[in-house]
Amino acid sequence: MSKPAITGTGVFTPSQSITNDELVLAFNAYVENFNTRHADAIAAGEVEAKAPSSSEFIVNASGIEQRYVMNKSGVLNPDVMHPHLPERSDDDPGIMAEMAQEACTLALAQAGRDASEIDLIICAASNHERPYPAIAIEIQQLLGAQGFAFDMNVACSSATFGIQAAADMVRAGSAKRALVVSPEICSGHLEWRDRDCHFIFGDVCTAVVIEPADEAKGAHFLINSTRCATQFSNNIRNNNGFLRRTRTGGMDDRRDMLFMQEGRKVFKEVLPLVSAHITDHMADEGVEASDLKRLWLHQANKSMNDFIGRKVMGRTPAPEEQPNILQDYANTSSAGSIIAFSKYSDDLQPGDTGLICSFGAGYSVGSVLVERA
Ligand code: COA
């Protein structure tokens, strides 16, 4: 059995970004238009007036300062409030495959591998732009990879569940060399008109190369252990799907066809779940808190990460021990912990242990214990 290792990572960051101030300006213009349009109904008590948002609230509640998006003009148009992502011809690469191509190319370059040496691609993401053919197969074709490819979705935990699946296959020999790629176009499933969540998400794509450690060409991280867990909850939910019939895409479409959450409940329920998951995983692998050099956590909320970091380390981690990227990227679903890993792992020394953990809808939690080789 081969010991799997992460030998390369890549991050595709969209060229357009939106600051909190820009976002709030657009949101508040939408609110003002809505309240003016419905002034009579609001006065009659038939419609509830919408309240404005504020940059201070967003930073205090989440730690988010800006987000990258695939289309800024649509999101910031108070009469539109969603990204303009025009449909493409079936003969053109889809938008997810296009994002994936850049992230995969960067990851392959770091691993010193050509795409033709890859024989497994898992496209692990929260939303897939179509049910089939799998986005992963389109990525396989664009890159010129071999073998087989498939899509999987475990919401915010997709990347770590994908890493477990790929690592297991490399270990067992059913795949020789894998790419786990997470194109997350969260702007497309966010309700930008909802004050409680309009600031939460951003777009990005990450990719990770996984291959046998003894074939690694450069610096790499051994995958010492992975653990996945799920527990059903409706507190983060999106009812959109192939059975939908009524969504028009207009301003009056069904709210449940986009991201919905009970943010406070998520906070209360997910924090103990994730903290216990990580501490149990570490204990079962004989990893002490003092052994842990770095925690690359899911990037949804700064207070959440601060809490988990304290629980796992048994003290307040130094910022470099638990790096956050959510101030720049916002919540990028499954890609968040991988962005943190990709940007903040180079300085670890051989023998240093770290843990990647993502968590979210499902509920789902995935953790990966890695060691710098
Ligand atoms: N601007 C100003 N005020 C706002 C606001 C906004 N954009 N949105 C909400 N508020 C107000 C609310 O009206 C509420 O006021 P009230 O107490 O007078 O009723 C107050 O702020 C608190 O709202 P709440 O939703 O409880 O805020 P919060 O501190 O819980 O932060 C989240 C909201 C969403 C950032 C936070 O709950 C969270 O991150 N939850 C978990 C997210 C998560 O991991 N999700 C997984 C997604 S994959």
- The total of other beta-carbon atoms located within 10 Å of residue 293's CB is 18
Per annotation, catalytic residue among 156, 186, 197, 205? 156
Task: Note the pTM of the prediction, 2 decimals.
Answer: 0.96
Protein residue closest via CA to atom 48 of ligand 1: 360
Distance CA 143, CA 137 (A): 10
> What are the extents of the domains in the chain?
222-372
Catalytic residue at 156?
A: yes
What whole-number distance in Å separates Cα of residue 198 and Cα of residue 191? 6
Residue nearest to atom 14 of ligand 1 (CA): 196
Give the integer Cα–Cα distance in Å for 206 and 11: 4
Fold of 222-372: Peroxisomal Thiolase; Chain A, domain 1 (3.40.47)
**What are the pocket residues of ligand 1 if the criterion is a CB atom closer than 6 Å to any ligand atom?**
53-54, 57, 61-62, 156, 195-197, 236, 261, 263-264, 266-267, 300-301, 304, 331, 360-361
- Tens of pLDDT, residue by residue over 129-153, are 999 999 999 999 999 999 999 999 9
12 CA → ligand 1 middle, Å? 29
pLDDT in tens, 21-53: 999 999 999 999 999 999 999 999 999 999 999
pLDDT digits 0-9 by tens, 144-185? 999 999 999 999 999 999 999 999 999 999 999 999 999 999
For residue 249, the model assigns a pLDDT of 53
Residue range 198-217, pLDDT digits in tens: 999 999 999 999 999 999 99
Give dist(CA 372, CA 351) in Å, integer: 5
Q: Which residues of 152-168 are buried (b: 16+ CB within 10 A; e: fewer)?
A: bbbbbbbbbbbbbbbbe
pLDDT digits (tens, 9 = 90+) for 212-268: 999 999 999 999 999 999 999 999 999 988 777 655 555 457 888 899 999 999 999
Q: What is the pLDDT of residue 251?
A: 43
Average the pLDDT over 289-300 and give the result.
Answer: 96
Query: Which residue spans within the chain are E strands per DSSP?
Result: 4-12, 16-19, 66-69, 120-124, 148-152, 178-185, 203-212, 221-230, 236-237, 260-261, 292-297, 353-360, 364-372
What is the 162 CA–ligand 1 centroid distance (Å)? 30
Ligand 1 mutation target, pool 23, 267, 332, 357, most atoms within 8 A of CB: 267
